């Protein structure tokens, strides 16, 4: 069996396995925390600019005035001012970098540390062996910047193919508390956000229903949870949990839900020759002619087509839409190479016959 055929079979089996899982998912039980998040709990991006020094002639200082100016400002801050910028013209061991870090959705307190990342801004060849001078980072909102902390430390290259970017482990020291507010004190409530993969009126209604059922005793004669849209569920905090809302939120997130809706989606990566399918992916009736094979999906004309025609028909009495699984089974029987399977799916998407969100990267 050829390696090419083996790859085709593996991908087809992956298709079938994922589709089988999608069918079983309708009966599967999952927790609310797997499909929802609490409004107000969000990551916060931090950015800044700084200088990486100690490079082995791979910096950008000798040819970029912004780097030279930043270096001069740093030297002035260290009580060693530079009279003429020309004195720094040979500073090839310095690079101007963008600094980035992320405050986690759970928040963080003053004194804690986070990893930060640096990227060359002006053409440094490599950041290998460099160290970031102490530099501040803040929230990126213009006019609403909030100083967050200070970054410094040794730069580690994560990818040998990307020498102009690096990571500083625990390089950011937080200088202020970031306590995220997720409880509406006025209404004594929280709001759940359904993730985009499951968002829909059915899912939001089902989440509200199971929460109301779980906390029916605490709620008395009123509903705690109300679906406010395909991606939002409003939840009142019961009186029993007013003093311990975190305990209530933890209990809510543990509630089980039987039928979470999942958006039909196909993710394709031609480079690695992988395809991932989620949800019930359907295809309208169509005849596919690709290279030396022809595949009919749905209800092809009686009498067939010449050449290597393979009909792909659903069950008797079925609507005129077939699942992607049926197409994959036919291609598997024909031992179609993986790259051809991807090409066929791509053309189905372009023609509007693939009823799913399509993502190729």
Structure tokens at 216: 């029916």
Q: Who has greater pLDDT, 110 or 336?
A: 110
Structure tokens at 37: 């998040």
Element (H, E) at 355: strand 354-355
234: β partners:
191, 226
Angle between helices 3-25 and 324-333 (to 10 degrees): 160
What backbone phi and psi angles, to 5 degrees, belong to 189?
A: -145, 170
What is the arithmetic mean of pLDDT over 251-269? 83
CA 157 to chain centre: 23
What is the arithmetic mean of pLDDT over 98-120? 95
> What is the secondary structure of 173-224 as a DSSP string?
EE-S-B----SBTTTTEEEEEE-TTT-SHHHHHHHHHHHHHHTHHHHTTS-S
Q: Of the candidates 247, 217, 155, 229, which has an alpha carbon nearest to the alpha carbon of residue 191?
A: 229
Three-state SS for 325-348 is HHHHHHHHHCCCCHHHHHHHHHHH
Kindly indicate the confidence band of residue 8, based on its pLDDT and cuts at 50, 70 and 90: very low
Kindly indicate the confidence band of residue 299, based on its pLDDT and cuts at 50, 70 and 90: low
Residue with tokens 């213009």: 142
pLDDT at 318: 47
Contact 194, 36 (CB under 8 A): yes
Contact 264, 281 (CB under 8 A): yes
Between CA 309 and CA 293 the distance in angstroms is 7
The secondary structure of residue 57, as a DSSP letter, is S
Which range is least confidently modeled, 122-136, 295-309, 338-352? 295-309
Contact 233, 257 (CB under 8 A): no
What kind of fold does domain 30-40+182-257 have according to CATH?
Gyrase A; domain 2 (3.30.1360)
Between CA 251 and CA 21 the distance in angstroms is 27
Domain boundaries, the chain: 3-27+263-360, 30-40+182-257, 44-174
Residue with tokens 């980035």: 100
pLDDT at 171: 97
pLDDT at 293: 74
Alpha-carbon distance values, 26 to 203, 234, 254, 262 (Å): 12, 24, 19, 9
Q: Is the pLDDT assigned to residue 313 strictly greater than 60? A: no
Q: Is the pLDDT assigned to residue 45 strictly greater than 90? A: yes
pLDDT at 144: 63
Indicate the pTM of the whole model: 0.65
pLDDT at 321: 58
Which range is least confidently modeled, 16-25, 44-53, 200-209? 16-25
pLDDT at 290: 75
Kindly indicate the confidence band of residue 194, based on its pLDDT and cuts at 50, 70 and 90: very high
Q: What is the mean pLDDT of the chain?
A: 82
Kindly indicate the confidence band of residue 131, based on its pLDDT and cuts at 50, 70 and 90: very high
What is the arithmetic mean of pLDDT over 333-341? 80
């Amino acid at each position: 069996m050829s390696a090419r055929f083996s790859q085709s079979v593996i991908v087809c089996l992956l298709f079938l396995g994922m589709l089988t899982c999608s069918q079983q998912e309708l009966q599967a039980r999952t927790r609310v925390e797997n499909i929802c998040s609490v409004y107000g709990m969000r990551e916060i991006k931090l950015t800044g600019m700084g200088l990486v020094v100690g490079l082995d002639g791979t910096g950008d200082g000798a040819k970029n005035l912004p780097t030279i100016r930043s270096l001069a400002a740093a030297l002035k801050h260290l009580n060693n001012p530079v009279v003429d910028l020309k004195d720094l013209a040979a500073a090839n061991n310095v690079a101007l970098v963008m600094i980035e870090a992320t405050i986690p959705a759970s928040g963080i307190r003053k004194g804690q540390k986070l990893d930060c990342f640096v990227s060359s801004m002006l053409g440094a060849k490599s950041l290998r062996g460099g160290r970031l001078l102490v530099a501040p980072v803040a929230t990126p909102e213009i006019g609403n910047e909030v100083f967050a902390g200070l970054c410094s430390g040794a730069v580690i290259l994560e990818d040998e193919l990307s020498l102009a970017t690096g990571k500083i482990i625990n390089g950011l020291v937080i200088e202020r508390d970031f306590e995220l507010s997720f409880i509406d004190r006025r209404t004594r409530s929280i709001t759940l956000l359904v993730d985009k993969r499951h968002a829909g009126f059915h899912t939001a209604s089902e989440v509200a229903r199971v929460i109301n059922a779980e906390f029916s005793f605490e709620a008395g004669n009123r509903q705690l949870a109300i679906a406010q849209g395909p991606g939002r569920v409003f939840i009142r905090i019961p009186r029993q949990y007013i003093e311990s809302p975190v305990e209530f939120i933890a209990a809510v997130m543990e509630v089980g839900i039987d039928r979470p809706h999942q958006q039909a989606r196909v993710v394709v990566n031609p480079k690695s020759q992988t395809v991932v399918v989620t949800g019930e992916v359907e295809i309208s009736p169509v005849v596919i002619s690709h290279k030396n094979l022809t595949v009919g999906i749905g209800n092809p004309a009686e009498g067939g087509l010449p050449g290597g025609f393979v009909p792909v028909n659903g069950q008797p009495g079925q609507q005129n839409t077939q699942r992607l699984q049926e197409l994959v089974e036919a291609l598997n029987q024909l031992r179609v190479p993986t790259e051809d399977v991807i090409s066929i799916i791509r053309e189905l998407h372009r023609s509007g016959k693939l009823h799913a969100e399509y993502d190729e990267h």
